[in-house]
Structure 1
């Protein structure tokens, strides 16, 4: 059984940095995002870890875990919204009191996806892969990124529909943000292995493969137990995005996931756009996608709105999804079913 938190109007949002905090010269980004959310009627509780960053982490693991646990156990909070990802969130996964977590949304991507996946696998509580807090600092949100509020406000038993983006960002220009933060200039096209249309259905799980692969073989990455405990024999749809892995390392990581049983009873795979997908000795990511589709016998979609190349949809770990794609466009419908 999957449980779904609920974001309501005027809700209280907790901001903590379980991975990387924010350097002093960038504190303005956090303050701007918080001001935008407060203008919408939300209340903000901002933790101390947000304002510090040293040696690739916001604070020592015990400090980060203490603040995170306090927010996860605070019944006043409807959402925990880290400023962004980072490098070493995995240091806190064994320090979380999973049994004490309140029904609170956690939203983010990159290194935050380690926390999202661990919480859902350990508890059956839905978590949300989407925007980071700093992405909410714009004068307005683009139509894809801004759907996080609609998704998190969906009630248990209801459904929410998202469309693939019309445009995506080719390159970051942090010094010259647009009114919606991103520079969306390139036509989006969701691609399918083998061409043609694709349809898939199953329960969503996923995140940034660079970091979530390190949960394999740990108690916090027990996908088999999750399937047996929380799902009714339904297939999984994995959404994955590559931040920095070479194509060969991405292949190694996917083979490891397969050997660990993460792709057992799989209904399909989604891969986000990535600047890291460069060939290794002529071995391309398209070669990889084709091999994986043939090995698993499942449909594969790629260059989807997920990850480090904005914008991105909000994918809910644990939700049942129906995904249809044809001629470069896609519709993702998520059902908040137990």
Structure 2
């Protein structure tokens, strides 16, 4: 059975950087986010890795693994909230003792997806794909982002409903943050490969496809064992977001996932809006989605609120979800069962 952590109102948040740390000139981002969280009643404890960054890493792999493990085992820390993602989180996996990790939420996206998926697959502990720490530093959060607290406060046996955003951010304007950080200027439209409304149900798994694809064939990407050990072979709903792959690289990755069995007993696939998806010789992301839907004979929903084009819904790896979309809008109800 799946194990669901619970976020308490007075929780102590552990901030550690299992991928990239924060360079000196951007320390103010972490300080600002910490201040906002403290004003909401949380305690915030930052590890040493947060404040250092050299050659794409916060610190050597073993140091990152040790600090994360220490926070996961520390009874005084309730929840792990890394500052952001990065590039080489995968290096720390071999140094983690998954059997000793306590049930605590870890929330984030991008390169952090590697850790989230690995923990859920190996332990059955639910993990949360959503906002990162630095993006909660605003005076307030938009409605979609703000749902992370409601989702992580959902008790086992209960459910939580989220709606598609009204607007999304077309491009980052780091020098011109709004009171909620993002510049939500474009109308959100969830789309489907079939151009028909869909409702799909299953257990959620996913994250940044650029990095979680590298779990295929490793002990940290054993989807078949996860399905057997923790979810009674219920169907999966995969959700992906593409940070930097062009369309042919995306296609190769999806074919590899299919050949590796990741899409066995899959009821549908969701794709977030993407800053990449650059066509190759006229071959578009829409072509990729259409081909995948036809090959697997399942719905594909795309341009959802997930990933590097904010805001984003908080998706819980391992939760049972009902995803519906119609007329460009969507809902995600997650059951913690």
TM-score using structure 2 length: 0.99
Post-superposition offset of 1:137 = 0.2
Deviations 1:152-181 (A, max 9, x none): 000000000000000000010001100000
Task: Give the whole-Å Cα distance in 2 for the aligned partners of 1:81 and 1:222.
Answer: 25
Who is 1:119 aligned against?
119
Who is 2:17 aligned against?
17
Task: Give the whole-Å Cα distance in 2 for the aligned partners of 1:78 and 1:111.
Answer: 22
**Contact 1:246/1:278, CA 8 A, preserved across alignment:** yes
Moved beyond 6 Å, runs of 4+ = none
Who is 2:98 aligned against?
98
Which segments of 5 or more consecutive residues in structure 2 lack a partner in the other structure? none
Post-superposition offset of 1:79 = 1.1
Task: Give the whole-Å Cα distance in 2 for the aligned partners of 1:241 and 1:185.
Answer: 20
Who is 1:227 aligned against?
227
In the alignment, is residue 239 of structure 1 matched against residue 239 of structure 2?
Answer: yes
Deviations 1:42-96 (A, max 9, x none): 0111000000000110000011011011011112222100000000000001111
Deviations 1:13-52 (A, max 9, x none): 0000000000000000000000000000001110000000
Deviations 1:180-229 (A, max 9, x none): 00000100000011112100000000000000000000000000110011
In the alignment, is residue 320 of structure 1 matched against residue 316 of structure 2?
Answer: no
2:258 match: secondary structure: helix
**Contact 1:83/1:133, CA 8 A, preserved across alignment:** yes
Post-superposition offset of 1:277 = 1.1
Who is 1:43 aligned against?
43
**Contact 1:5/1:78, CA 8 A, preserved across alignment:** no
1:44 match: secondary structure: strand
Post-superposition offset of 1:112 = 0.3
**Contact 1:15/1:47, CA 8 A, preserved across alignment:** yes
Who is 1:188 aligned against?
188
Task: Give the whole-Å Cα distance in 2 for the aligned partners of 1:78 and 1:311.
Answer: 25
Q: How many residues align?
A: 337
Who is 2:162 aligned against?
162
Who is 1:280 aligned against?
280
Which segments of 5 or more consecutive residues in structure 1 lack a partner in the other structure? none
Task: Give the whole-Å Cα distance in 1 for the aligned partners of 2:226 and 2:152.
Answer: 22
